[in-house]
Structure formats: C-alpha cells, structure tokens
Amino acid sequence: MHSSVGYGSDGDVAALAALVGDAGAAKDAVRFGQIREVRVLAAAGQLAEKQAAGASERVKAHEMALRSIAAELAGVFVATDRTLQRRIDDAQDLVENYPATMSAWEDGRLVRGHVLVIQDAGAIVPGEVRGEFERQAIVACEGETPNRVRERLRMLAERLHPRTFTERHREAAAGRCVRVQPGVDGMSDLVATVPTVIAEGIVDRLTQQAREIVHARDRAGATEPIDPPGSSFVGDARTIDQVRADVFSDLLLAGTPSLDPTDTGDGNGTLGAIRAKVQVVVSALTLAGQDEHPADLVGRAPIDAATARVLAGENTSWDRLLTHPVTGTVLECDTYTPTAAMKRLLRARDRHCRFPGCRQPAIRCENDHTIAASEGGPTHICNLANLCKRHHDTKHHTRWRVRQLPGGTLVWTSPTGRTYRDNAPPPLVTFTPAAGFPAEQPPPLTPPREKQPGEKSPGEKPPGEKPPGEPPGRLEPPPF
C-alpha cells in the first residue's frame, strides 16, 4: 500500500529539490578535488622512484626518498608520514595500473567508492588481464552504488584469474586456525580463520538464537511471567551483540545454550534446533563439475566450487539455486513447498533488497507487493519484490514511489521527482550459446514426464489429422 500524502508538504518538497541541486554541485566539486589529490600523490611516488633511479642500493634509496616525501606531504594533509606513504602507494597503483578507471572517474561515470571497489577487487588480477577486468568492471559500476557491485567485481576478478578459485581456496584452507589476541581490562579477541561459508553459518545461527532469547525476554516483560523452568530474565538488559557473544561461549563450552527460554525441562528447546540459513547461487555447469567457477554466497563473498557442490548435494538446510548456463534463469530450487515457491523464485531473482543501493540479502527481506493487494495488485512474481524492513517502511510511509517493469526491473521515484532504475541482478555466469543452440527458449523447471502407453498428450490430434506445425524445441536441464 502507499501513503496518500507522505511526510512533508509541497513546500518541503521544493526545499528538498533545492538541496538536491546543491548536493549535485557539491558532489562534482568533491570529485574534482579527490582526483587532483590522487594525481598529486601518484606524482609524489613517481618522484621518489626518479630520485632512487641512479642509486647503488635502489630499493633502500627508494624507501628513504619515499619516506622523506611522505613526511613533507604529511604536514600539508595533517596526517602521519606512514599514512601518507600508504596513500601514495595506493594512488600510484591506481594511476599506473587502472588508467581506464581514472578516465571514467574524471568523466563523472564513476564515484570515489566505485574506484576503490575496482582497485580492491582487481588486486588479485594479473596484469595481462587487468585491462579486460577494468572494462567489464566499469560497465558493471555505471548506474549502481559501490556496495552493490563489490561482490560482482570480486566474482569477475576470480573468473579472470588464471588459477581456479578452487585451487587457491584449497591452499588457503590449509591455514585455518583459532587464536587469542589478548586485550585490556580482562578481555580478549577469539579469532577463528575458517572458510567463509562456515563463518557466515556460525554468525547466522548465533544471530537467530540471540533473537529468540531477546524476543522471549521482551514477551516476558510485556505480559504475565512465562519464563520456562530454570530460566529467568530478571535484570537481563543485554544487547543482541552481548547475547550473541554469550550464546557463542555457551555453545563452545557446554555444547548447548545454557539460557534457552524454550527449554521444557526434559531436553533442549528450540534454540538447540536452530540452524544457519545461507543463500548460495551456483551455475549448473559448476554444480555438474564441468567448470571450477566460484559460486556466490549472496551478499557476502565468492566460495569455491567444491564447497558449493558439497552444500548442494549433502546439506539440505541450504537453499540450492541451480541456474541455466546460458540464460541464467533458475532451473531448480530444493524442496517443493507450493506456498513458498514464489518466495524461492524471488530470492533467486532479487538476491538482495531492491531499494537503490541496498545490499541486505533477500533471505532477510520481506516480500512486497509493488502495487498493493488492497489496490488490486496481484500476488504474482511480476508484482513482487524483496525489500528489507527499512526500505519496505520507506515505500509505505513516505513519498517514494515504485513501479515494476518486465524482467523484475524497478523504477523508483523520489519525493523530488528524481528516478532511480534498479535492475534485477544479472546472472553470475553466462555463456555464448553454440551455433544452433536455441537459447531463446526457456528451460522447463523439471524434466518432462514420460508418457504412459495409450496416454494422449495435451493437444494431440486424432490419427490422420495433420498437425498445424511442429512445436518449438525445448531445452532440457542438464543431468545432475
């Protein structure tokens, strides 16, 4: 549903429009200043190289020259010389190794955040393919916010790397460990270096358990005492972060949460049954073992193909989304629940909140009717989109408006009339179809059922009647 008025009068909207205009001018001024700063710092690094060019101990001479120049500039930027030396290195890397990115930034096609994301993701890309990485990265960044494209660029960099992600992950996983970093006031940091899917699963499960405890505490405080035997919320004012840390400690030391408001006294309560929920998108060819492209841990980071196959084949608590290798459309989702089919398809299509710039994973979002059901909007995939709680409320209670175009594209209109187009995330892996491959035909969700003896197919003509024409061919999902 939409608010009929929204917050603010027409006069307020006019004032906001003026602020938007000023913000645009300020943004351009900041961009020009940032570009000039980067080029100045890059020139400082090049000057240090020039000063050390003829020295017998070139590496040491370069370091000393760079320290001296950084110390000089530190006084201008009111920062430490170490900070300036690091910024000089970053600026020189950007100017010398990412010329196309610098040009796009100067033309106003990118903002500083885009540049930082491209440089960060491109750090693993060898020089011989960096130009191709830049070209694709710039196209991906245009019209999107930096946080939206970060994971897409990381996936792009992984695919362009000459060594497979699986090989590099296997080597990195050999270094997994747990260590303690002593702190002050009797506190320490317990750091576990583990595969990303494990880390995300741990945090997700802890978060779900902490929320159950907090919700049970809130219910107990708002109504008659309902505390289960053996538990009490008297004086419990812990934040969710504190509860999460306490549950983490309980699970490692005792195996189950010591404070479980759903405990019935004869066994573990609901908290002991909570498991992590993480969304993974993987190409059908990767799942079939025909390539080693990384899968996407939605909203987080790439994961290696071998882990994705294990999750898809052995762990039913993960959402398995099999995508077609050519069109990128979803072939299958695990477990069939009719009332949840649209939700699964929406998660596969949207992958995150569809408000401009938001990256909240779809598994933590709400399904919103673009046109409210009370206004005649159908409960159909073409009228549904994932919005996080914050932006769902924004749509309902402010003057922001949205309409949905074919293919899941959302066009948002701000209170001042500015429009923002939010396209559904592109498929993670696409391929050019071979000659004669009918890529324009969508694949069926399930293989066709074999016709039984004597059974007539739908639309089958009686014997002797000539059919009007051959039906178009259909793509079958690859065997798994």
Q: Is 332 domain-assigned? A: no
What's the chain's average pLDDT?
A: 77
pLDDT, tens digit (0-9, with 9 covering 90-100), for 216-275: 877 766 444 434 444 455 567 888 899 889 888 877 766 666 555 555 555 555 565 555
Residue 245's domain comprises 195-273
What is the predicted pLDDT for the residue at 305? 82
What is the predicted pLDDT for the residue at 92? 96
- Cα separation values, 7 from 11, 13, 314, 449, Å: 11, 10, 50, 55
293 token code pair? 């492209």
- Cα separation values, 375 from 6, 19, 367, 397, Å: 17, 33, 16, 16
Q: Cβ distance 234 to 242 under 8 Å?
A: no
pLDDT cut 90: percent of the chain above it: 28
Q: CB neighbours of 280 closer than 8 A, spacing ≥ 6? A: 197, 295, 296, 297, 298, 303, 308, 311, 312, 318, 319, 320, 321
Q: Rounded mean pLDDT of 419-431?
A: 75
Number of domains in the chain: 1
Q: Cβ distance 326 to 307 under 8 Å?
A: no
- The lowest-confidence range among 12-26, 161-175, 317-331 is 317-331
- Spell out where 81-137 has E strands: none
Coil, helix or strand for 421? strand
Q: Is 204 domain-assigned? A: yes
What is the predicted pLDDT for the residue at 442? 43
**H-state helical runs in 331-388:** 341-350
Does residue 474 surpass a pLDDT of 50?
A: no
Higher pLDDT, 61 or 432: 61
Q: Rounded mean pLDDT of 440-464?
A: 45
For 201, phi and psi rounded to 5 degrees?
-65, -40
Coil, helix or strand for 228? coil
What is the predicted pLDDT for the residue at 327? 59
pLDDT band with cut points at 50, 70 and 90 for residue 338: very low
Report pTM. Answer: 0.57
Q: Is 295 domain-assigned? A: no
Q: Is 348 domain-assigned? A: no
35 token code pair? 């570009």
d(CA 262, CA 269): 5
- Cα separation values, 207 from 90, 91, 237, 240, 241, Å: 36, 39, 17, 8, 9
d(CA 130, CA 123): 9
71 token code pair? 């110390």
pLDDT band with cut points at 50, 70 and 90 for residue 188: confident
Q: Is 60 domain-assigned? A: no
- Tokens 């000023």 map to which residue? 22
DSSP string, 285-309: HHHTTS--PPEEETTTEEE-HHHHH
Q: Is 207 domain-assigned? A: yes
Q: Is 232 domain-assigned? A: yes
Does residue 402 surpass a pLDDT of 90?
A: yes
d(CA 359, CA 154): 15
pLDDT, tens digit (0-9, with 9 covering 90-100), for 83-137: 999 999 999 999 999 999 999 999 999 999 999 999 999 999 999 999 999 999 9
What is the predicted pLDDT for the residue at 441? 45
Does residue 288 surpass a pLDDT of 80?
A: no
Q: Is 211 domain-assigned? A: yes
Q: Cβ distance 213 to 242 under 8 Å?
A: no
What is the predicted pLDDT for the residue at 224? 42
DSSP string, 322-339: EE-TTT--EEEESS--GG
What is the predicted pLDDT for the residue at 44? 95
